[in-house]
Structures are given as C-alpha cells and as structure tokens.
C-alpha cells in the first residue's frame, strides 16, 4: 500500500478544483482500495502522542471566518478502533494514547480526503503530533508504522513543507518567495535521494523562514520515516501566497501523472491572513 504526503494549504481547497485537488483525487483513483486510512495532520498538534479510537469521528471545522458552505462540509467516514490499537502496538516502547471522545477529523484530513475518497466509506484514524518531541522522534515513529502498509492501511501525511502565514502575500496566488522555493527544492532533493535525512533539513539556511513553527512540517517526517529503502516521488508541486508550498509526494505504488491547471484558491474576503489554522 502506498503512503503519501499532501500539501493541503488553504481549507478552501476542500471546495475548489485545481491542480492540487486534482492530484489528490488521482491518488485516490490510483491506490488499491485501502482497508483503512491513517492520517497524520498538521492540525492535531498537541501535548501527547495519541490516535483517534472512536467508531464515528466527528468532522472538525478548525478555522473561523470562512464561508458557510465550508462549515457545512461533513466527512462522515467511520473510525476503526482496532487500527488505533495496532498503531499503539507497533509504536512500542513509545506510548500512544487512544482518544475516544475529544478529537475527530480536522480539516488537514477531510479537506484532502473529500477529493481522494469522496464517498467517505473507508475508515479513517488520525495520529496526533506530539509538540514536545524533537524531529527525530517523528521520523522514527513514522518508520515504526511500516507494518501497517502491508496490512492494507494507506498512510497520509497532511501538512506543508513551507508554511509561513506571517509572510503570506495573496498578490502572489501561484508563486513562492525565493527563500520558499529554495527550501522546497532542497527538500525535494533530499526526499528523492535519501528521505530519512529530512529531519536534518533544519540546518538549511532557509529553514527558519520556511518552518517558523513545526506543525505543518512534521507530517512529512512520518512519510519520510517509512522510506528506508525507496525514494519519494513528486506528485505535484507549486506555491501559493508566496510562503506556502503545495508540494505532494508518494512512496510506493503507481504515482498518478503530475497535474496541470489553476493554482490554489485565495482566502475569502474578510478572513485574516494570520489564521493559524490554515
């Protein structure tokens, strides 16, 4: 079963059709139907490592100021408590808690899955990002998830390699600053050559600008950690608003052809550019 990292960007991608959402849809069409989907989303960034273990996870609208039609999106995929137990088992001796009632599926998960698997019939489980652990912890935990792939689980990392909301410029809807492009290109070289070196990209001179907070970068490390013996293959690339990378990569399986077309949507009028939930 393949594993993928998807640059999810603006929540409005859930409602839009562009080259990024078309790439996500192509991933869903190309992948063998998974038994379940495990998503590591940038938006469950918390004080512990945990996994959703409820049978019916709620759809979380973790943003504000967006149109009513975005808040109306429901992604009613079932959960799979037994997968939560599997994740906890393969992670040992690292502890993974089972969350039965507090979280659900945030927009880092459903905004991409509504395109990749629109019928919401495949069970979905989320794994949290432990904010107190170093980069190497996340890379190693990703490596430990490898047995799940051979058990029919599609593993998805959802974040952005470059994500600096304080630098966004919606006058550049389909372009990146020089430093954003440089860091994206450096990441691409590592991911296609030796993905497990991705945690060392914090030494890159543009890392501080590209990754001012780790939440959107960490999901990449889980997919890189799975890639002990094979490189990641680009699915789609590009930037929006100057400081957000929309690059996506796949590990294993048959990659869909790279998509062309329009770029990602901008923010609706009145939405603050510094919304930390983007």
Residue closest to 11 by CA, chosen among 54, 87, 55, 73: 73
Q: What is the pLDDT of residue 274?
A: 46
**Concatenated DSSP letters of 221-239:** HHHHHT-SSS--EEEE--E
With tokens 């020089």, the residue in question is 178
User: What are residue 172's DSSP bridge partners?
Assistant: none
Beta strands 58-59; 36-46: pairing state: unpaired
Instruction: Give me the residues of the chain with pLDDT under 70, please.
Output: 256-278
Q: What is the pLDDT of residue 263?
A: 65
Distance CA 174, CA 237 (A): 11
Global pTM? 0.93
Residue closest to 235 by CA, chosen among 12, 15, 34, 4: 4
Distance CA 127, CA 96 (A): 9
- Look up residue 64 and give its two tokens: 């504000």
Q: Phi first, then psi: give them for residue 201, nearest 5 degrees.
A: -70, -10
Distance CA 275, CA 255 (A): 33
Give per-residue burial for 1-22: e unless 16+ CB within 10 Å, then b. bbbbbbbbbbbbbbbbebbbbb
Distance CA 113, CA 276 (A): 21
């Amino acid at each position: 079963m393949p594993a993928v990292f998807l640059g999810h960007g603006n929540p409005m991608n859930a409602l839009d059709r562009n080259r990024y959402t078309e790439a996500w849809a192509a991933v869903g069409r190309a992948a063998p139907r998974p038994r379940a989907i495990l998503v590591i989303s940038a938006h469950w960034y918390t004080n512990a490592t945990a996994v959703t273990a409820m049978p019916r996870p709620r759809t979380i609208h973790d943003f504000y100021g967006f149109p009513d039609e975005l808040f109306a999106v429901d992604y009613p995929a079932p959960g799979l408590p037994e997968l939560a137990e599997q994740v906890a088992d393969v992670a040992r001796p690292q502890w993974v808690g089972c969350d039965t009632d507090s979280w659900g599926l945030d927009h880092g998960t459903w905004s991409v899955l509504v395109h990749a698997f629109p019928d919401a019939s495949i069970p979905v489980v989320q794994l949290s990002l432990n904010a107190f652990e170093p980069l190497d912890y996340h890379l190693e935990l990703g490596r430990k998830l490898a047995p799940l792939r051979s058990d029919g689980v599609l593993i998805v990392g959802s974040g952005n390699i470059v994500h600096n909301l304080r630098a966004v410029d919606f006058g550049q809807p389909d372009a990146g600053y020089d430093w954003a492009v440089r860091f994206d290109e450096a990441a691409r070289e590592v991911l296609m050559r030796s993905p497990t070196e991705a945690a060392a990209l914090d030494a890159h001179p543009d890392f501080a600008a590209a990754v001012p907070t780790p939440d959107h970068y960490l999901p990449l490390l889980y997919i890189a950690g799975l890639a002990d013996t094979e490189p990641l293959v680009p699915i789609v690339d590009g930037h929006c608003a100057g400081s957000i990378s929309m690059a996506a990569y796949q590990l294993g399986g048959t990659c869909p052809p790279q998509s062309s077309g329009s770029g990602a949507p901008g923010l609706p009028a009145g939405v603050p550019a510094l919304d930390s939930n983007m």
